[in-house]
Homo-oligomer: A and B are copies of this chain.
Amino acid sequence: MGTCNNTTNVGFAIPARVSRETKPGGTIVNIDGIEVGGSDVVVIAGPCAVETQEQLFETARAVKAGGGRILRGGAFKPRSSPYSFQGLGEEGLKLLSLIRKETGLPVVTEVMDTRQVELVAGYADMIQVGSRNMQNYPLLKEVGMCRKPVLLKRGMMATIEEFLLAAEYILSKGNEQIILCERGIRTFETSTRNTLDLSAVPMLKRLSHLPVIVDPSHGTGIRWMVPAMAKAAVAVGADGLIIEVHYNPEKALSDGSQSLSLNEFNQLMPDLKKIARAIDRDIF
């Protein structure tokens, strides 16, 4: 069987539940009606952090108008420095909930603490486990017991094997609705924030049945580079994209330098559609 040989070739054993062999047809993750892992490429977009009602709502409306299918926005933010903006917390979750009602866009937001999984799951349509928590095993187990889809981001230092094992932690607790997200790895190169490892997409899709999306915003850290890498991600076979968009990137409290403006987002989407159609998929 083809996959068997591959598992040998990559030099490690593929964990049982995450392996494509257990589900050759692939998994489709359903986020309140939006399917990731099917023929459509799904664009998730929104601000890095929820900052104010105006910022979130204006951005969300533009995401909806531009063809985005899911809204992203952080309420609890993992910041390298304790003195950086840490997010609005539950207030942010409430704002996300409000704009979901208006736009109909399902919402994905990050959880960092096992004690907050229930709270976040009460507001969000999909729970994000961020890069820094990819090997936070108590958190993985907790979202594994949750009945909400999980967006699992690759650790910036995680091998493909470790990434699959992290997903296996969630699967082993019964939650099969997982989307894997490549978001750039740390290398010696410093002209970009991270090195977006697009080869991870075909590799993960071959080894696992889970859908795979790409984050070109964190993957590059550079606004002007996001469109090129987003196009490449669609061409390489990603099932979706997660893109940071802000109604005023220069004033963003977090990651402004990598956020697209509403206008840039609007210009990008038709270009992505052309690439998607060139590989017989669609995007909106």
**A-side interface residues toward B, CB under 8 Å?**
9-12, 15, 78-83, 112-115, 132-133, 135-138, 141, 155-157, 159-162, 165, 168-169, 172, 185-192, 195-203, 206, 219-220, 222, 224-225, 228-229, 231-237, 271, 274-275, 277-279
List chain B residues, Cβ under 8 A from A137.
78-79, 82, 112, 132
Q: Provided the pairs A113-B138, A162-B80 are in contact, do residues A199 and B236 lie with their beta carbons within 8 angstroms?
A: no
Asked if B198 and A232 sit within 8 Å, CB to CB, the answer is yes
Residues of B within 8 A of A189 (CB): 159-160, 185, 197, 200
A229 to B206, CA, bound (A): 14
Complex Cα distance A169/B81, Å?
Answer: 7
Is the CB–CB distance between B203 and A192 below 8 Å? yes
How far apart are the CA atoms of A161 and B191 in the complex, in Å? 8
Contact A135 B81 (CB under 8 A): no
Task: Count chain B CB atoms within 10 A of each CB in A141, A156, A235, A279 and give the residue with the most.
Answer: A235
Of B79, B83, B192, the residue contacting A199 (CB under 8 A) is B192
A79 to chain B, nearest CB (A): 7
A203 and B190 in contact (CB under 8 A), knowing A113-B138, A115-B115, A274-B279?
Answer: no
Nearest CB on B from A152, distance (A): 14
* Chain B residues, Cβ within 8 Å of A81: 15, 165, 168
Contacts of A198 in B (CB 8 A): 196, 198, 229, 232
* Residues A233 and B232 in contact in the complex (CB < 8 Å), given A133-B136, A157-B186, A185-B187: yes
Tell me which residues across on chain B come within 8 A of A203, comparing CB atoms: 191-192, 225
Complex contacts, A229 vs chain B, CB 8 Å: 198-199, 202, 236
Question: What are 19 A-B interface contacts by the 8 Å CB criterion?
Answer: A10-B191, A15-B83, A80-B135, A80-B162, A82-B168, A112-B136, A112-B138, A114-B115, A136-B136, A156-B157, A185-B188, A188-B188, A190-B190, A195-B195, A196-B199, A198-B198, A199-B225, A199-B228, A234-B235
Q: How far is the CA of A185 from the CA of B198 in the complex (A)?
A: 13
Cα of A137 to Cα of B136 in the assembled complex, Å: 11
Shortest beta-carbon distance from A9 to chain B in Å: 8
Chain B residues closer than 8 Å to A11, beta-carbon distance: 190-191
**Complex Cα distance A279/B188, Å?**
31
Q: How far apart sit A65 and B185, CA to CA, in the bound complex (Å)?
A: 39
If the complex has contacts A165-B82, A199-B195, A225-B202, are A187 and B190 also in contact, measured as CB distance less than 8 A? Answer: no
Task: Find out whether the CB atom of A275 lies under 8 angstroms from the CB atom of B235.
Answer: yes
Bound CA span A172–B169, Å = 32
- Determine the residue in chain B with the shortest Cβ distance to A133: B136
Give Cα A168–Cα B81 distance, bound, in whole angstroms: 8
How long is the Cα–Cα vector from A250 to B219 in the complex, in angstroms? 36
